[in-house]
Amino acid sequence: MDKKDILLSKKLISSYKERLENEIINRSNKLRIPQKLSKEIIDNNSEINQLKIILKNLDKTQSSRLEG
């Protein structure tokens, strides 16, 4: 992967993660779930957590490519 591919991947994954979080917030609001609980739902969501890990790995890959 070159720098351009990494940046594009990060952008797409970040966008998807944001959409998931917003979807949880919107549904929680419709169901009148307290904001604290919806935050916990987001924090414990396995898909969102996997996306965070992937983004961290892409950051590491990008920084190692810049160093090397």
* pTM score of the predicted model: 0.86
Write out the residue range of the structural domain in which residue 36 sits. 3-62
pLDDT at 19: 98
Whether the per-residue pLDDT at 63 is higher than 90: the answer is: no
Residue 11: Cβ within 10 Å count: 10
Confidence of residue 36 (pLDDT cuts 50, 70, 90): very high
Note whether residue 30 is domain-resident. Answer: yes
Q: Is 68 inside any structural domain? A: no
Number of domains in the chain: 1
12 torsion bin: left (phi>0), alpha (psi -120 to 50), beta (else): alpha
Rg (CA), the chain: 15
Residues 6+ apart with CB under 8 A from 10: 55, 58, 59, 62
